Structure 1
Amino acid sequence: MNEANIGELIELLGRWATGRGPLYLLLAARLRDLIDDGLLPPDTALPPDRVLARRLAVARGTVVAAYDLLQQEARVVRRRGSGTRVAAADLPATRAANEVGSNPLLSHILHPPDGVTLLTCAAPDEPPPLLAEAFRQAVSLLPERDLGYHPAGHPALRAAVAAYYTGRDLPTDPSQIMVTTGAQQAITLLTGLLVNPGDVVQTESPTYPGALEVFRHAAAVIRPRLEPGERPALMYAIPTASNPAGTIMDTATRRRLAAAATEHDVPLIDDEVCAELCFSGSAPPPLASFTSGEQIITIASLSKLVWGGLRVGWIRAAAPLVSRLARLRAVHDLGGDVLSQLAAASVLSRLPEVRQARVEALRHRHDHLLSRLRARLPSWEVFPALGGQTVWARLPRGDADTFAQVALRHGVAIPPGRSFDPQGGHADHLRLHFLFPPEELTAAIDALAQAWAAYDGARHPATRHTLIV
């Protein structure tokens, strides 16, 4: 990059350092925006560390840390001798994952590879028959006159979700409910309202990578464990049917977690997206049931219980927070699709029926997956799930990132463990979902067994990738 191009980049960066938080996070956030908006196209050369640091009047370490963070997010590629460049938008399947640190869960949604069995995205791909019936009923309920703009959600669905929580012994008023376009939007809106660049967000490890992407995009510092004296701006947990491991938090731990959020006055997101998929029966109480404070924010959706294409989720929170979120949401899209919300209200009225059919199928497929793994990959350590849609597995040797590349060449896409770790650990783990019918799961495990036989893990010791945040 010549001096003229560096000058153009400085102009594009603008007032990048005027936010709150560490300078490297602020610089990474602005570069991220420029890359995502296409103002820095793929393969654009970025200035050397020392040059950009001098032009920005910051320490070289600030630029190095910003570049390293963007490399972990797969937005730039750094190679010794050839500098730092904006990463290609569509990465070749054979490129080693540890070169760019890409998130396969998102990349396989944006650019699904042909002829590959996707064990990456854990969402049902079979809309249940009752969904079509729910939409037919929704059409009959469309009002004769209604603008259709409901930033906080259609009143019928807000009332239905409030009744759902009240039925779980968590009294809820419709004013405490905000409807969202899935739980991912719920996390994004809450982060946008509650988190500033440089703020600390505390999460579990491993945890849902979609949430980690949101927190990183907000230039937050993500911590599984807080440093001495550190106070998070937000906490995020999946206590019921967790992603990726399918675990269920015990009651005593739920009480302690809720009490800690209340005592320290820290907002805590309780992600209940898979809460209705517990194999043993009804979902445990939400974290908000264990405190009278307003710090607990519950989010959920119908994407895992019903179908990923039914983009309806919600937030349960204090009414004043819901009002603030609705104002923020109105800036983006004025509210969600009314027909889908009316259909979702119909589905909620038949929740026991939906849950029973879904859980029975998942439990059967879970047991089948574990049986095939024991038969074909006995050296893998697989942790049975108590609910949800996924299991967590540990390889006996090698690196899950590298093995994922071998598996891809055998026709199966799997997400390596570091995608679920806010600090890039769990490099010897991977997640497997059990959403496919038994015969498809069998074929997928057979292919993984062939890939494992072809993979020489002894040459690839597990790499502990560590993010700066």
Structure 2
Amino acid sequence: MTPSVGELVAWLGRWSAGRGPLYLLLAARIRQLIDEGLLPPGAPLPPDRRLAAALSVGRTTVVAAYETLRQEGRLVRRQGSGTRVAPAALTPPGPRVTETSNPMFLHLLDPTDDVILLSCAAPPSPPPELAEAYAGLVLPAHDLGYHPAGLPALREAVARRYEERGVPTSPDRILVTTGAQQAIGLLTRLLVAPGDGVLVEAPTYPGALDLFREAAAVPYPVAVGPDGLDVPEAVRLMERHRPALAYVVPHLHNPTGTVLPPLLGRRLVAAAEARGVPLVEDEVLSELGFGDRPGPPPLSSYGTEVIGVGSLSKAVWGGLRIGWVRGPAPLVARLARLKALHDLGSDVPAQLVAARLLGSFEPLLRARVAELRAGHDLLRAELGRRLPSWRCPPASGGQTLWVELPYGDGVSFAQVALRHGVAVLPGSTMDALGGSGRMLRLHFLLPPEVLSQAVRRLAEAWAAYAPEPEAVRGSGPGSRPGSRPAALNAITV
């Protein structure tokens, strides 16, 4: 359906209600119409001047909104052809990855037969302990089942887990959520208004970028190096812009696997608290280290205002949708009221099971880490044997490898890889700075025979993508047509 200008204005509704620049508010509402399917792929949008006149705003507002959506890949603007919804949103006849569709979730929404998913890093099956916990489940005899802040028994279990890690925590500082994604989403809704700035790492977890983009936030990316986040640059950015929120993954960073040294972590926390910037620490992977000694303590051990986000999705199973927020009690109370508007509380049986698992968590965690270490070693060995030109440094924990192609770019190679039956996550989809063009994130959670088959397919895809010897092509980004790094000027997924 192609709407008229009047119909589009009606669909936009009270688009200007809210805080922030008008162009971001307009872009957010058009984005919603595209994502909901009201504006289908290929649909033309009104010219800048006509829409501006219909909305009683300046033309620059419409131009800036269209440009924001063009940079995200949702719109296509061509001289003489006007502005249209990007055709990449069309359901493709075969597997497809684009800079505008999150490859982590692509095949969860539209599964394709015989595609090995190295893009969505989650345990492929639940551990036996989970089935045992459900088998022994006893529901409360007298309980309405509505617990917006979380079941008291689980809040106490999560608080004890923090205590065991050296962070004094009371249950009133814990909010139970339906996974870490909901936790980040609630924090975004509470703390970030359209047009607000959000400090993010570059690269970072793409699911968080999804949420910040949906909130019409302005990303303030800071590069991640060998020692994690560039903390001096992050401090300078907080001084200049005072972002509404800072989101970091300091320990076993997703996707690079780096670990922020404790002294830098202390400096980051001190800077955020001195400037009143809410600092959100994603701890989902923090206990999956391969070393014999515990990793650095959570950032919350360095300050009283740090907001921690955790979940059981990586250590146990993605289908156990249990996450949490640890933060100051007043913030947790506000988040609980916000959560009550959405779902009145997370699933009670799942919370009871999670509380039981956390009561004897160490054996389960050790078993998961042992599986991860074996998968890590196998994937690196297979890549080294079949794709020796790829740079693949070892990870110190977590679930993924951060792999660098010798040339080309990850987005175009991902398209070729999908045609050969394996889905990978291009690095540029995780980088709001527009870098990481040659990078891929590959997880090692699949059974050994499947991982080996995945690498065989990657090798076949690489042979098709780059059939000539590297010495002939050269290794520079301009050495082959179409091998430019993806340049993303706004948050993409």
Q: TM-score, normalised by structure 1?
A: 0.93
**Relative to structure 1, is the Cα distance of residues 440 and 151 closer, same or farther in structure 2, using a 3 angstrom cutoff?**
same
Please report the RMSD computed on the Cα atoms of aligned residues, expressed in angstroms.
Answer: 2.1
Cα distance in 2 for residues equivalent to 1:409 and 1:96: 8
Secondary structure, aligned partner of 2:307: strand
Secondary structure, aligned partner of 1:374: helix
**Offset at residue 462 of structure 1 (A):** 1.9
Q: Deviations over 1:125-162 (max 9, x none)?
A: 1100010111122x22x111110000000011000001
Structure 1 partner of 2:485: 463
Contact preservation (8 Å) 2:238, 2:277: no
Structure 1 partner of 2:278: 267
Q: 1:160 aligns with which of 145, 150, 157?
A: 157
**Offset at residue 73 of structure 1 (A):** 4.1
Cα distance in 2 for residues equivalent to 1:452 and 1:93: 22
1:238 aligns with 2:260: no
1:10 aligns with 2:17: no
Q: 2:180 aligns with which of 179, 183, 187?
A: 183
Contact preservation (8 Å) 1:72, 1:102: no
The percentage of aligned residue pairs carrying the same residue is 57
Contact preservation (8 Å) 1:393, 1:432: yes
The code of the aligned residue for 2:488 comes to T
5 Å-filtered alignment, 1:357-396, equals 357-396=367-406
Structure 2 partner of 1:193: 190
5 Å-filtered alignment, 1:194-213, equals 194-213=191-210
Structure 2 partner of 1:125: 124
The code of the aligned residue for 1:348 comes to L
**Relative to structure 1, is the Cα distance of residues 177 and 227 closer, same or farther in structure 2, using a 3 angstrom cutoff?**
closer
1:298 aligns with 2:308: yes
Cα distance in 1 for residues equivalent to 2:38 and 2:465: 40
1:287 aligns with 2:278: no
The code of the aligned residue for 2:35 comes to D
Secondary structure, aligned partner of 1:383: coil
Secondary structure, aligned partner of 1:275: coil
Contact preservation (8 Å) 1:67, 1:76: yes
Cα distance in 1 for residues equivalent to 2:105 and 2:69: 16
1:169 aligns with 2:166: yes
The code of the aligned residue for 2:279 comes to L
**Relative to structure 1, is the Cα distance of residues 212 and 436 closer, same or farther in structure 2, using a 3 angstrom cutoff?**
same
Note the residue ranges of structure 2 that are not aligned, 5 or more in a row: 223-236, 467-478
**Offset at residue 58 of structure 1 (A):** 3.9
Secondary structure, aligned partner of 1:431: strand
Structure 1 partner of 2:134: 135
Q: Which moved more, 1:309-318 or 1:79-88?
A: 79-88
**Offset at residue 76 of structure 1 (A):** 3.6
Q: 1:444 aligns with which of 448, 454, 458?
A: 454
Contact preservation (8 Å) 1:191, 1:214: yes
Cα distance in 2 for residues equivalent to 1:93 and 1:48: 31
Secondary structure, aligned partner of 2:287: helix
Structure 2 partner of 1:278: 289
Structure 1 partner of 2:363: 353
Contact preservation (8 Å) 1:303, 1:309: yes
1:432 aligns with 2:442: yes
Cα distance in 2 for residues equivalent to 1:289 and 1:194: 22
Secondary structure, aligned partner of 2:480: helix
5 Å-filtered alignment, 1:253-264, equals 253-264=264-275
Structure 2 partner of 1:92: 92
The code of the aligned residue for 2:92 comes to P
Note the residue ranges of structure 1 that are not aligned, 5 or more in a row: none
Q: Deviations over 1:197-221 (max 9, x none)?
A: 0000001111000000000000000
Cα distance in 2 for residues equivalent to 1:310 and 1:79: 46
Contact preservation (8 Å) 1:90, 1:111: no
Contact preservation (8 Å) 2:97, 2:103: no
Contact preservation (8 Å) 2:95, 2:419: no
Q: Which moved more, 1:79-88 or 1:393-402?
A: 79-88
Q: TM-score, normalised by structure 2?
A: 0.89
Cα distance in 2 for residues equivalent to 1:130 and 1:227: 44
Structure 1 partner of 2:470: none
Cα distance in 1 for residues equivalent to 2:456 and 2:393: 19
Count of aligned pairs: 463
**Relative to structure 1, is the Cα distance of residues 102 and 77 closer, same or farther in structure 2, using a 3 angstrom cutoff?**
farther
Contact preservation (8 Å) 1:245, 1:383: no
Structure 1 partner of 2:473: none
**Offset at residue 228 of structure 1 (A):** 7.3
The code of the aligned residue for 1:10 comes to V
Contact preservation (8 Å) 2:411, 2:486: no
Cα distance in 2 for residues equivalent to 1:65 and 1:395: 34
Contact preservation (8 Å) 1:126, 1:307: yes
Contact preservation (8 Å) 1:108, 1:120: no
**Relative to structure 1, is the Cα distance of residues 65 and 394 closer, same or farther in structure 2, using a 3 angstrom cutoff?**
farther
Structure 1 partner of 2:67: 68
Contact preservation (8 Å) 1:71, 1:101: no
Contact preservation (8 Å) 2:196, 2:244: yes
